[in-house]
A and B are shown apart, each in its own frame.
Chain A
Amino acid sequence: MRRASWQEYQKDIASDKYYYARSCIRQNFFPGSERAFLDILHNDLGIDVFDDPLHTSCTGIGYHSDVVPLETIMTVVARQFALMAEAGYENFISSCITSFGIYNEVLATWEEFPETEERTRKYLKEATGRELVKPRSIAHTSDIMFHHRQAIARKAKLRLVNRHTGEPLKVVEHIGCHYAKIFPKSGIGGSEFPYVLAGMIEAWGGDVVDYPERRHCCGFGFRNYLVQANRGSSVANSHKKLESMAPYKPDFIVANCPGCAMFLDKWQYAIAEMEGMTYGADGRGIPVLTYEEMAGLVLGYDPWELGMQMHQVDVEPLLDKMGVEYSPEAKYLGAGGKYIGKPADVAVNCFDQRRIYEIKR
């Protein structure tokens, strides 16, 4: 079976003592997931993760928009690695898929073209006085969650099961392109049959949906989204995926890339507004989760403390299916616990087609 070929693509993942590098996109759109990752590792699993206040962006979005040169991003990456070593760590973990691809690409470039490593060392020393020390291991935070999936399953308060029917929830998993398409050996399961999210879904009781466009890009495409004039290309690719998955009636989508999670959520909103089209079996949009949100719900975390109110597609239908207890009133509370108003109604959260057109009018 080719589907079993994921087992050929395994990598060593450290079990403890991680140096954590944050993601630009993720902290903008999923700050609750950033916190949940650290909370789950620290509080639920008793693992040492260092959250360094000194590291910067890897500049990967600039690099893949072709405004940051290769020599520059290699030096920025070298600084991150230097900070890791100075803090006493050697297992580098990144919460961004773009960054994860960058770290792997830079290490591979240094390996294959040693003169680039020499040049980077020189630039780093000249610019910062720091010394490059390469990490012993590189992992994405979804690798870490995958690695500890059975420990999470043992502490689970809920499973990925529809409490009304007793059936496993049907889950679409979306893997960010730069997780394993650049370096298949860097991802669990490689690029064709990545197992990193499927392993979590199966361990926590859900069913993984296999659908034709499962490996298609979400459509981000860096400049194809970042420049307004190009966004038609971005939404067209998300549209292609959504059209492909909808007949399988998924209960939710989970992505290991913060950009993909955001785009699959936001483009459902845009498509509903533009076309009156929604993709969920109940007539609404399909909720899109990060893997920490999925893990957090399984562990009994409050959905609003996980930041799920920041999604454009409402998650309540999924929470109700899983049997998550939550306070509807707490969804729109600010930092001090005061009510801060709520967003406007939008078509993607409306199960009644007539109402969708009322909203659109």
Chain B
Amino acid sequence: MGKYFDMLAEDVRLHEGLKACMNCGVCTAVCPAAEFYNYDPRQIVAIVQTRDDDEIERLLKGNAIWYCGECMSCRPRCPRGNTPGYVIQALRTLSQRLGFFVESEKGRQQLALKRMIGDNILATGYCLTPRNIRPELHPEQGAVWEWIYDNHEDVYGRFTETYLKEGAGALRRMDSESMKEIHRIFEVSGGKQFFDTIEQHSERKAREMGYDGATEEYMLETYTYNSENHY
């Protein structure tokens, strides 16, 4: 009893996010995710507060902890000064460290996020770059985005002289020394190891699900599949 809670308690966000919750439900009332998902941050915090290993393990392996959008609308409204969003962050981190995230549809999406955002940081120094917002994966971006994407050098060139080039300015290419520093930061602070953990557990789960490993096909499946059982 309390093993998982003790692991969560190693995360400073749990200390900051959960003192003693009185279960008033204000967080759920104001939560944009709770509005459209079958999601109740009040209940999540209540479960964590019980310190019950079985219940917390169910959370770590389930979909519920992945519905939150981390907008932190819960934080200023909680009358006890808790932050359910921080509790969610601690749960998600532990779920990935233990490899439990691959047991839920929403959790498995972490592979897509690691490859699309995480790998892009290590490749470019940015979370997002225009070339990885591909219109076929982003139909909601509309006709103007397609026009920008197709004419990217002309469109961006109007606003920045350093588009894809080194130097100061928007959308500049990162210099190699800065990129080396970012890589070293990810190495010494555990970022790369965390990425590897996501890959390893995804690889195991993909094979279990009949894929030939955590291939592009498996990653795209996690990115696009919606069972419609979340509302």
CB <8 Å contact, B12 and A109: yes
Q: State how many angstroms separate the Cβ of B198 from the closest Cβ of chain A.
A: 7
Nearest opposing residue in chain B for A109, CB measure: B12
Cβ proximity bits B14-30 to A, threshold 8 Å, 1 near / 0 not: 01100000000000000
B189: chain A residues within 8 A (beta carbon): 69, 71-72, 74-75, 123, 127
CB <8 Å contact, B93 and A66: yes
Nearest opposing residue in chain A for B172, CB measure: A53
CB <8 Å contact, B168 and A52: yes
B53: chain A residues within 8 A (beta carbon): none
Q: Verify if A328 is at the interface (C-beta below 8 Å from B).
A: no
Q: State how many angstroms separate the Cβ of A200 from the closest Cβ of chain B.
A: 22
CB <8 Å contact, A343 and B146: yes
Chain A: interface secondary structure? helix
Q: Verify if B47 is at the interface (C-beta below 8 Å from A).
A: no
Nearest opposing residue in chain B for A34, CB measure: B170
Q: Verify if A270 is at the interface (C-beta below 8 Å from B).
A: yes
CB <8 Å contact, B11 and A70: yes
**In the complex where A72-B186, A224-B69, A334-B151 touch, is A28 in contact with B224 (Cβ < 8 A)?**
no
Chain B: residues with Cβ within 8 Å of the partner, total of 90
A178: chain B residues within 8 A (beta carbon): 71-72
CB <8 Å contact, B170 and A35: yes
Q: State how many angstroms separate the Cβ of A117 from the closest Cβ of chain B.
A: 11
B112: chain A residues within 8 A (beta carbon): 227
B171: chain A residues within 8 A (beta carbon): 27-28, 31
Q: Which of A52, A127, A346 contacts B184 (CB 8 A)?
A: A127
CA of A264 to CA of B130 in the docked complex: distance in angstroms? 19
Q: Which of A59, A66, A74, A215 contacts B92 (CB 8 A)?
A: A66
CA of A27 to CA of B168 in the docked complex: distance in angstroms? 13
CB <8 Å contact, A57 and B155: no
Q: Verify if A216 is at the interface (C-beta below 8 Å from B).
A: yes
A-B contact count (CB 8 A): 268
**In the complex where A31-B160, A62-B127, A240-B35 touch, is A223 in contact with B66 (Cβ < 8 A)?**
yes
CA of A124 to CA of B190 in the docked complex: distance in angstroms? 13
CA of A269 to CA of B11 in the docked complex: distance in angstroms? 41
Q: Verify if A199 is at the interface (C-beta below 8 Å from B).
A: no
Q: Which of B11, B66, B147, B167 contacts A342 (CB 8 A)?
A: B147
User: Taking beta carbons and an 8 Å cutoff, which residues of B are in contact with A?
Assistant: 11-13, 15-16, 32-33, 35-37, 66-73, 75-76, 89, 92-93, 96, 106, 109-110, 112-114, 116-118, 121, 125-130, 133, 137, 139-148, 151, 153-160, 162, 166-172, 174-175, 178, 181-182, 184-191, 194-195, 198, 222-226
User: Taking beta carbons and an 8 Å cutoff, which residues of A are in contact with B?
Assistant: 22, 24-25, 27-28, 31-32, 34-35, 51-57, 59-62, 64-72, 74-76, 79, 101, 109, 112-113, 116, 123-124, 126-128, 177-178, 180-182, 184, 190-192, 215-217, 219-224, 226-233, 235-237, 240, 266-267, 269-270, 273, 305, 307, 309-312, 333-336, 338, 340-346
12 CB contacts below 8 A, A to B, read A31-B159, A31-B171, A56-B121, A67-B113, A67-B117, A217-B71, A227-B223, A228-B223, A236-B35, A269-B140, A312-B143, A312-B145
